[in-house]
Amino acid sequence: MSRRFARLLLGLACLGPAPGAWAAETPAAAPGPAGFDVTYEVRLLPTEGVAHVAIRIDDPRHEVIALSFRIDPERQRDFRGDGVVSPSSAGDTMEWRPPKAGGTLRYVVRINHLRDEKSYDARFAPNWAIFRGDDLVPTARLRTQTASVSRARLRLRLPQGWRAVTAYPRMLDGSFEIRHADRRFDRPTGWIAVGRIGVLRERVANVQLAVAAPLDQRVRRLDLLALLRWTLPVLRDITGGLPERLLVVAAGDPMWRGGLSGPNSVFVHSSLPLISRDVTSPLLHELMHAVLGISPGPGGDWIVEGLAETYSLELLVRSHTLSKKRYEKALAQLAARGRQAPVLEVDRSSGATTARAVTVLHALDRVIREGSAGVRSLDDVVRILFQQGGEVTSERLRRIAEGLSGRELEAFFRRQLG
């Protein structure tokens, strides 16, 4: 056999079997759910303080019937696009029926948004911008032919010299992959920072952590990172896991002087201490909101806020950032403050109500420990909520606690709720 003929035979072997060969021996891959592609193209214009948003849908299987957006007409405006774009008579919703194979919807978003008379929870400064993905793409209701799901990415078009940070993974082409396992229609949510910003990145407790702030805001990014390095491993042990990515964004005035959470992301004002005088931590409080991802049902805000405040303390003492003595003193101060709140089930929990919630949750922890002979605790409640998500109410909390303690707790809750 000549060498040339041998090489030809080897090349044919490397090509693999002809189509259809070995079909009986190789199982066919299970078909995945029908899907369509969504690209969010966002061009930020500092001179105008706006973002030009284009939502492009590629839908070769003709799955998408319509998208209905709940909009703020003072911020999201000038809607136009392929197919049919129909505003509601009240102006607070916008329905888009794209062509069968897909199309593009375009509109303009005003970034600046006042939270009170003089401070912002979204801001477009000359050299930076901080806002949430929900500002760019509001809540939407999807109607499709079948139970199809989206594959989405976000592409940010920035002025020269600017950079961007989000809680999403960056793809090779520079766009961000938008993934939400619990949603059929993926859209960007959580905090986003762009501009001349400084970013510290580190892997902590198997989390890709980023701490970002505008360069001209004098934010102590290393201090924020240090506190998270001490406490994230403790939080991971409590919940049994953490998101793949977490983002902390900070800035000074005129941003709102508080902390605000979003999915897998947190904003904190640069003036906030890492640990307050009452020995709780604004950063860790918001981090608990971001990680747990639960929302209050009717009368359930005390649980959401109470767990965030309780575990901002727990993370500090369990990481040995605080001594046991200071921890117990903080609990006593919260108990004294909580006596000013007559009831827990209010629309919005803050101040004395949240302080009382901490005391009640610690009492619930003791009940669970006693009923389970020390095997279960409030940590198990947190782990269940982390895994299940959703709305939380006093009734849901009672059922979870009864399952863990093996006790009937109706009388306990009736007594504690006020």
The CATH number of whichever domain residue 265 belongs to comes to 2.60.40.3650
For residues 56-82, one letter each, b for 16 or more C-beta atoms within 10 angstroms of the residue's C-beta and e for the rest, the string is: bbebeeebbebbbbebeeebbeebebb
Confidence at residue 19, expressed as pLDDT on a 0 to 100 scale: 30
The DSSP line for 256-313 is: -SSEEEETTEEEEETTS-SS-TTS--HHHHHHHHHHH-EEE-TT-HHHHHHHHHHHHH
62-88: pLDDT as tens digits: 999 999 999 999 999 999 999 999 999
Contact 310, 319 (CB under 8 A): no
CA-to-CA distance for 199 and 378, rounded, in angstroms?
A: 35
Mapped onto helix, strand or coil, the DSSP state of residue 10 is helix
* Cis before 254 (ω within 30): yes
Q: Dump strand ranges (E) for 113-196.
A: 113-114, 120-124, 128-132, 140-144, 149-157, 163-165, 176-178, 191-195
Residue ending a domain, among 244, 272, 300, is: 272
Asked if residue 281 is part of any domain, the answer here is no
Residue ending a domain, among 272, 299, 318, is: 272
CA-to-CA distance for 47 and 111, rounded, in angstroms?
A: 12
Residue-averaged pLDDT of the chain: 91
Do 263 and 315 share a domain, yes or no? Answer: no
Does residue 22 surpass a pLDDT of 90? no
Do 193 and 299 share a domain, yes or no? Answer: no
Confidence at residue 34, expressed as pLDDT on a 0 to 100 scale: 67
Asked if residue 5 is part of any domain, the answer here is no
Asked if residue 22 is part of any domain, the answer here is no
Give the β-pairing of 294-296 and 390-392: parallel
Do 245 and 295 share a domain, yes or no? Answer: no
Percentage with pLDDT > 70 across the chain: 92
Query: How many domains does the chain divide into?
Result: 2
Does residue 13 surpass a pLDDT of 50? no
CA-to-CA distance for 292 and 392, rounded, in angstroms?
A: 11
Do 335 and 407 share a domain, yes or no? Answer: yes
Host domain of residue 388: 290-417
138-165: pLDDT as tens digits: 999 999 998 889 999 999 999 999 999 9
2: confidence class by pLDDT, cuts 50, 70, 90: very low
Do 260 and 345 share a domain, yes or no? Answer: no
Do 396 and 300 share a domain, yes or no? Answer: yes
Does residue 16 surpass a pLDDT of 90? no
Do 157 and 264 share a domain, yes or no? Answer: yes
pLDDT average, residue stretch 242-249? 97
Do 60 and 153 share a domain, yes or no? Answer: yes
Confidence at residue 223, expressed as pLDDT on a 0 to 100 scale: 97
Q: Which strand ranges, in their side-by-side order, compose the sheet holding 128-132?
A: 113-114, 120-124, 128-132, 191-195, 163-165
pLDDT average, residue stretch 196-205? 97
Does residue 349 surpass a pLDDT of 50? yes
274-286: pLDDT as tens digits: 999 889 999 999 9
Asked if residue 186 is part of any domain, the answer here is yes
Asked if residue 309 is part of any domain, the answer here is yes
216: confidence class by pLDDT, cuts 50, 70, 90: confident
Nearest to 55 by CA among 103, 118, 22: 103
CA-to-CA distance for 381 and 401, rounded, in angstroms?
A: 7
Do 119 and 241 share a domain, yes or no? Answer: yes
The neighbouring-strand residues paired with 107 are 53
**127: which 2 tokens?**
């050299």
286-336: pLDDT as tens digits: 999 999 999 999 999 999 999 999 999 999 999 999 999 999 999 999 999
Q: What's the angle, vertex CA 126, arms to CA 121 and CA 127, rounded to 5? A: 90
33: confidence class by pLDDT, cuts 50, 70, 90: low
The number of CA neighbours under 13 Å toward the Cβ of 29 is 3
Percentage with pLDDT > 90 across the chain: 87
14: confidence class by pLDDT, cuts 50, 70, 90: very low
Do 246 and 346 share a domain, yes or no? Answer: no
CA-to-CA distance for 336 and 314, rounded, in angstroms?
A: 19
CA-to-CA distance for 217 and 252, rounded, in angstroms?
A: 6
Confidence at residue 90, expressed as pLDDT on a 0 to 100 scale: 85
Asked if residue 134 is part of any domain, the answer here is yes
Do 263 and 121 share a domain, yes or no? Answer: yes
Do 168 and 86 share a domain, yes or no? Answer: yes
The DSSP line for 195-222 is: ESEEEEEEEETTEEEEEEEEGGG---HH
Global confidence as pTM? 0.88
Confidence at residue 290, expressed as pLDDT on a 0 to 100 scale: 97
- The size of the chain, in residues, is 418
Asked if residue 283 is part of any domain, the answer here is no
Least confident interval from 31-45, 188-202, 312-326: 31-45
Residue ending a domain, among 245, 272, 299, is: 272
Does residue 7 surpass a pLDDT of 90? no
- Own/partner pairs, 272-279, CB within 8 angstroms, 24+ separation: 274/223, 274/224, 274/227, 275/316, 275/321, 275/322, 278/330, 278/333, 278/334, 279/313, 279/316, 279/322, 279/326, 279/327, 279/329, 279/330, 279/333
Q: Which strand ranges, in their side-by-side order, compose the sheet holding 245-251?
A: 197-204, 207-214, 245-251, 265-269, 259-262
Asked if residue 12 is part of any domain, the answer here is no
CA-to-CA distance for 368 and 378, rounded, in angstroms?
A: 7
